[in-house]
Structure 1
Amino acid sequence: MMKRTTIQLWCEKYGEALAAAGTLIFILLALVTGTVSEIWSVSFYLLAYVSGGWLKLKDGIVTLVRDKDLDVNLLMIAAAVGAASIGYWSEGAVLIFIFALSGALETFTMNRSSRDISALMELKPEHANVLRNGEEVNVPVEELQIGDLILVRPGERIPADGMITEGSSAVNQASITGESLPVDKVRGDEVFAGTVNGQGVLYVEVTQSSDSTLFSKIIRLVQEAQSEMPKSQRFIEKFERIYAKVIILATLALIFVPFLLFGVLWEDVFYRAMVFLVVASPCALVASIMPATLSAISNSARKGMLFKGGAHLDHISRIKVIAFDKTGTLTKGELSVTDVVPYAGLCEHELLQATAALETLSTHPIAKAIVQKADACRSEDDFDDAWMRPTDYQALTGLGIAARMGGMRWRVGKPKFIMPADEENDVHGVVRSLQQQGKTVIVVQREEEIAGIIALQDRIRPQAKVMVQQLKRIGIQVAMLTGDQEQTAAAIAKEADIELVFAELMPEDKLDIVKKLKAQYGEVAMVGDGVNDAPALAAASVGIAMGATGSDAALETADMVLMNDDLDNIKHAILLGRRTQSIVKQNIIFASVVISALIITNFVFGVPLPLGVVGHEGSTILVILNGLRLLKS
């Protein structure tokens, strides 16, 4: 297959928009020159027909030749030509313009959604450092084979799924699991492609080929989920083709049956048939949806809600359940110190400052949170003494740190690192109580005695609980999906007043749960911010991404983006979608009634073409004005 040129790609992207703009310009020129020269006016109308109609005519012919079927493209062209054939050039040109404009808007939406997995692909590792015959070789990830030994340096992205054979480190798996903290990895642990190595050097044995990695599966899940055509779209396509066939056949019947069987004059039957073709054209029906949808999209954009297409407004109006990712969505995605419990004669301030001094040399998120908290509480004369400078510093991956400070030996780390598991005392009870609240707990030891406990937690967003209550009031069920452990998930869910909680999830698990929720409740929205949320966002009826903190993959995959991460806008988006659908239904009913009335009247009494045009164009203008009301809602 030949590679498409830049000009071809540019035409595919902007061709229909230019065609619609050209049609409008030629219509205006025809109106201006109409008072001077009829020839010039007709010439400009012909150019308007060609400008706006040739792409649709081509599509209609392709459908006719390839599928042996008629579609709405040929119907609209026939209606426009029919209007022109009886001298109503302007009406036909306006019909062409409206149709060309709708095509341009559809193309724009498709171009936006076609980039859905581009950000995912950018995160996919391209090269790996492989150890072969004692030498390090840099190769493309596609050339990796199962059993290869790869070297991953600190800060590098792990290029393949595998098992650690040597080394230890904290690995940031947020892109895969959504966990809020890096996970400590040691020899024998599994690692995934696309995750980021922390401070240690890892030797990893490849266990999956490049096209079988978990990261590659995420990309495929997004593609598969987005390839599923909604039922409403299939119905619309089927309806358009049936409608086109009926109108074309009816027009032909109106022309030839009276002329051949009843001897009616050709001029009379052709005139009445062309009137029928004009009044039966679905201009008002088309205008019933697009102006209202565009008005709602413009309205939502001003309030920080970006819809990527009009169909998503329809879907969000029917939402029954909204599933939220936890980390970075319901929560801020940043650890903060929540509890400081001192022992051994220390006060809270002394414990916090001493622990921060020990953690200053660490880059772990827990250490950063403690140092940040200590800095916020520090006074000008706090602890500048030499005894607050640690020496003999050791970082024990997966456990904690050890150092000497002030002539004493200190250790900071996980409870299992500091306290024997076979002992039971008051400190164990405090640790368990904090862990049951979903908090991350570290213990500080000075010499042989416990100096204190510090607990940290990812804070819930201030508006999350109010937002959940508002959604429940308008009849929406709320669920939470997270890769974090059950205790942490349960604590956050309780604080946010969420009953449906799903924890310890991988990306494919989130996708499965979204599908189950859709089967159980109906339309489901998914709100997320990470790469790991992308498959679920794509599979949901409406995928909603956090615009300020969301990953590129989430932003590209989502159907709607909260530009300022304001969760309150989710309720406004649902209500706006409901109001949009209400107005669309009003327009469709009104347009259908007018078209039906004109068609029936034309059959029974005969409608003069000017009256038919007034009825047709008037109904179109009225439904557009009704849709524009959404600009101020």
Structure 2
Amino acid sequence: MSVIEAAPNKTWSRIWLRHGGLIIAVLCLILIGLAWCGGQDGNSGLVITLYLLAYAIGGYRKALEGLQTLIREKELDVDLLMVVAAIGAASIGYWKDGAILIFIFSLSGALEGYTMERTNNAIESIMKLRPEEAIVINGNKEKRVRVEDLKQGDLLLVKPGERIAADGIVSEGFSAVNQASITGESIPTDKAPGDEVFAGTMNGQGALVIQVTKPAEATLLAKIIHLVQEAQSERPPSQLFVERFERTYAKIVVAGAILMAALPPVFLGWTWSQTIYRAMIFLVVASPCALVSSIMPAVLSGIANGARNGILFKGGAYLETIGRLDVVAFDKTGTLTEGVPKVTDITAYGKYTETELLSIAASLETWSEHPIAKAIISLAKERNIELMPTTKLEAIPGLGVHGSVDGQECKIGKVDLIEGMTLSIKEKSTITDLEQQGKTVIFVKVEDEVIGLLAVQDTLRAQARESVDKLKQMGIKVVMLTGDSSSTAQIIGQEAGVDQVYAELLPEQKVEIIKTLGQNGKVAMVGDGVNDAPALAASSVGIAMGAAGTDIALETANVVLMADDLSKVSYAISLGRRSTRVIKQNVTFAIAVILLLVVSNFIGYVNLPLGVIGHEGSTIAVIISGLRLLSQKQISLFE
């Protein structure tokens, strides 16, 4: 076959794959229209032939699916019940009613397909973020390669406006990168040499050279795709219950239809034709289509909403559970706090200024890898303070560093550095106050004179207090678990506004507290996914912070927050609550419609086409209702 011949065939295949259900429904309607025009009595051979074609075209697919379920699983399903009802109507001369049933059933199937496609598209859009090719730099040459062929250590050129093809570290260039697809952050993040970037994110106005750190299958985006695929395939407990219930319920409906076909002529004086017709309507209106469709569209929509906002649920079960939380337990370091010490106070003594004090301190710490040293150097760079030449630098284990700065012998370290020296009452009071606040005090000494001090502390995240307050407004108890000292923990806990603080805990003690809290309700643990892994696993819902680069977070937690944004915890809970509320609304609506149609059928107020419209309409209504959760607008905290 030539390319010219193959192209239309391929196009037709795509059209049929996406719109085949609607095409079948339209053909079925045309045949019904022709049959209706051919004669109102419906008894001529031509009319019956047209109706038979409508039955065959509109009902073939559903009949086949129903028979396969019956043969393979020995179970009755809704598809087979609909086809049996249509055939039953035709057997007593209601050709038109049966054909309309087949048409509406096929049309509703097509519409359900479109509405479910919207959910799937929202999820699959995440999977299309990774580009297919990347530009690899080799010396002075540039070469386009498939993303699957990238190796650790390759240098990639990412031009302005292009998607980044792999996880890596920026080697050259400056740009703002839109990371919303991975972290949910709405504002682009400035990237410079040494900063980490992720596959699937969008480069801004500057060109970047990136050194690949992970192969394609190990990138954060690949892990996200894997988690979303897992979440799609996993059924929450409520859906599993409904599916088990459907199998039993279908048998009850068949038994009810048989009784309704047999008893009314004996006890109510109905004609056999009327009785069988009402039994066929009962098969339709009592079928649990809407009930079965009440849950999964809402769950999948909620999962898609979360993924687009940087929240990954590992399954629908956790979306349901997170909406029923009573307690949220936060780890301190790296979760409520930044996890990195910062200089909070600078006090200079005598003739020295803060700038001079910080310059000497940073110069002494130039080559140190200690977190406190990095905090001091970072502040000096932030303030554009020039460092002075240093020589003879030597670390004193447990105390600090000494060396020569600008020709003077200098030292920096903890309180042992000033032993034997006389401090004023004011200086002693300052030191005591800082230590009571849980801060580490560092002294700087030039020759034999202490020229000042710096206080260092792991600071609270900017959004921590607001996030904790939101959770408390939602009626959730908030506690903090930490291995840190009681004094430091109490100070951070008070700043964050948590209800209760548990300090000086080992990992196994955190697990015991989670189990104790869980005795009175559902409890979530929010941690960094490393030393908190046991507590994450023991909680009702484990929520991992800072999943970027933390493999154990993806493995242990049930919910992963792709950015270190504590506000996403309350958003995830709100999303879970709204999902549960939508599911309850859908289930209530589905049951109410079934009861209304069954009663109306029994008293003779519903014919077969109207019963089908009510039944299929309610099914489509609950699916559309579930799709409300695809909306990315901020969900009310109290939903």
TM-score surpassing 0.5? yes
Picking from 11, 22, 33, the partner of 1:28 is: 22
Q: 1-side partners of 2:268 and 2:86: how far apart?
A: 27
2:465 aligns to what SS in structure 1?
A: helix
- Give the superposition deviation at 1:425: 8.6
What is the 5 A alignment of 1:601-620?
A: 601-605=600-604, 607-620=606-619
2:77 aligns to what SS in structure 1?
A: helix
**Matched residue, 1:213:** none
Q: Kindly tell me: are residues 348 and 591 of structure 1, through their superposed partners in 2, closer, same or farther at Cα, counting changes over 3 Å?
A: same
2:295 aligns to what SS in structure 1?
A: helix
**Matched residue, 2:42:** none
The letter of the residue matching 2:610 is L
**Matched residue, 2:524:** 525
Picking from 53, 78, 81, the partner of 1:79 is: 81
Q: 2-side partners of 1:512 and 1:336: how far apart?
A: 32
Q: Kindly tell me: are residues 229 and 606 of structure 1, through their superposed partners in 2, closer, same or farther at Cα, counting changes over 3 Å?
A: closer
Contact 2:239 2:295 in 1 (8 A): no
Q: Kindly tell me: are residues 101 and 395 of structure 1, through their superposed partners in 2, closer, same or farther at Cα, counting changes over 3 Å?
A: farther
Coordinate RMSD, CA, aligned: 4.7
- Give the superposition deviation at 1:360: 0.3
The letter of the residue matching 2:295 is I
Contact 1:344 1:449 in 2 (8 A): no
Instruction: Write the deviation string for residues 61-84 of structure 1: whole angstroms up to 9, x where unpaired.
Output: 6765xxxxx6xxx33343244345
**Matched residue, 1:585:** 584
Q: 2-side partners of 1:243 and 1:84: how far apart?
A: 20
What is the 5 A alignment of 1:200-279?
A: 236=242, 239-254=245-260, 271-279=277-285
1:434 equivalent to 2:434? Answer yes
Q: Kindly tell me: are residues 274 and 535 of structure 1, through their superposed partners in 2, closer, same or farther at Cα, counting changes over 3 Å?
A: farther
Q: Kindly tell me: are residues 262 and 590 of structure 1, through their superposed partners in 2, closer, same or farther at Cα, counting changes over 3 Å?
A: closer
Contact 1:30 1:41 in 2 (8 A): no
Q: 1-side partners of 2:511 and 2:71: how far apart?
A: 40
TM-score for both structures, normalised by structure 2: 0.62
What is the 5 A alignment of 1:479-628?
A: 479-520=479-520, 522-546=521-545, 551-555=550-554, 557-605=556-604, 607-628=606-627
- Give the superposition deviation at 1:358: 0.9
**Matched residue, 2:133:** none
2:338 aligns to what SS in structure 1?
A: strand
**Matched residue, 1:124:** none
1:468 equivalent to 2:474? Answer no
What is the 5 A alignment of 1:189-204?
A: none
The letter of the residue matching 1:328 is G
What is the 5 A alignment of 1:82-93?
A: 82-85=84-87, 86=89, 87=98, 88-93=101-106
Instruction: Write the deviation string for residues 513-558 of structure 1: whole angstroms up to 9, x where unpaired.
Output: 33322212x1223333333344444444444344675734324654
Q: Kindly tell me: are residues 549 and 347 of structure 1, through their superposed partners in 2, closer, same or farther at Cα, counting changes over 3 Å?
A: farther
The letter of the residue matching 2:503 is A
**Matched residue, 2:61:** 48
Instruction: Write the deviation string for residues 555-599 of structure 1: whole angstroms up to 9, x where unpaired.
Output: 465444445544334434444443443343333222211101222
What is the 5 A alignment of 1:70-219?
A: 74-85=76-87, 86=89, 87=98, 88-93=101-106
1:526 aligns to what SS in structure 2?
A: strand
Q: Kindly tell me: are residues 78 and 540 of structure 1, through their superposed partners in 2, closer, same or farther at Cα, counting changes over 3 Å?
A: farther
1:498 aligns to what SS in structure 2?
A: coil
**Matched residue, 1:143:** none
Q: 2-side partners of 1:557 and 1:100: how far apart?
A: 34
Q: 2-side partners of 1:229 and 1:49: how far apart?
A: 24
2:344 aligns to what SS in structure 1?
A: strand
Q: 2-side partners of 1:26 and 1:517: how far apart?
A: 53
1:395 equivalent to 2:395? Answer yes
The letter of the residue matching 1:316 is I
Q: 2-side partners of 1:242 and 1:421: how far apart?
A: 85
Q: How many pairs are equivalent?
A: 483
**Structure 2: gaps of 5 or more residues:** 1-14, 32-49, 90-97, 125-230
Contact 2:533 2:553 in 1 (8 A): yes
- Give the superposition deviation at 1:364: 1.8
Q: 2-side partners of 1:33 and 1:488: how far apart?
A: 74
Q: 2-side partners of 1:317 and 1:49: how far apart?
A: 36
The letter of the residue matching 2:466 is V
Q: 1-side partners of 2:280 and 2:243: how far apart?
A: 25
- Give the superposition deviation at 1:447: 4.4
Q: 1-side partners of 2:281 and 2:548: how far apart?
A: 56
Contact 1:486 1:504 in 2 (8 A): yes
**Matched residue, 1:166:** none
The percentage of aligned residue pairs carrying the same residue is 46
Instruction: Write the deviation string for residues 237-269 of structure 1: whole angstroms up to 9, x where unpaired.
Output: 664454345334434544566799999987665
Q: Kindly tell me: are residues 539 and 302 of structure 1, through their superposed partners in 2, closer, same or farther at Cα, counting changes over 3 Å?
A: same
**Matched residue, 1:219:** none
2:294 aligns to what SS in structure 1?
A: helix
Return 435-444 or 83-92, whichever deviates more.
83-92
1:34 aligns to what SS in structure 2?
A: helix
Q: Kindly tell me: are residues 83 and 399 of structure 1, through their superposed partners in 2, closer, same or farther at Cα, counting changes over 3 Å?
A: farther
The letter of the residue matching 1:333 is G
The letter of the residue matching 1:497 is G
